[in-house]
Amino acid sequence: MTLLVLGLGNDLLGDDGIGLMAAEALDRRNIPGIYVVKSPLSGLYLIDLVDGFDDLIIVDSVIGEQPGKVVRLPLNELGPQNAPSAHYLGFAEALNLAKRAGVRIPNRVEILAMQIHGSQVLGARVSGEVVAGLPALIEEVIRVARLWGYEVGP
């Protein structure tokens, strides 16, 4: 079994970089059998990163009313993206397209996101509320990994 933890975000936009920060923290733990990748990409561009893994946990941010709160975003509940072209497909749509094309995509996908402030400013620092929620996001990733049968130490 192989698990990919994929941290997404843009570290130039303050709170939006929390997925990248979580991935860095998990990577420092050097957990056997768990691969960690950070990426600013989205949609179809992520398919190459997830190809061949059995399981996938995505850590990202989502605009919400309680910055620092960790939420689960079920993949099957993400609606289609209203985008001008296929270059802007949402991740769920990209996975479906990849599967139809014969790409080996993960069997299980969990999206864990931290709520962030609605306005993002170029060059801003990550807010205190979001930094304070980082341990909860990391612990939720570890909880899901254990639930799926991965041996994660203390």
How confident is the model over 2-34, as pLDDT tens digits?
999 999 998 888 898 999 999 999 999 888 889
Largest CA distance in the chain: 45
Give the mean pLDDT of the chain: 86
The predicted model scores a pTM of 0.88
How confident is the model over 66-120, as pLDDT tens digits?
999 999 988 765 555 444 444 456 777 888 888 888 888 899 999 999 999 876 7
Q: What's the chain's Rg over C-alpha atoms?
A: 15
CATH superfamily of 3-147: HybD-like (3.40.50.1450)
What are the boundaries of each domain within the chain? 3-147
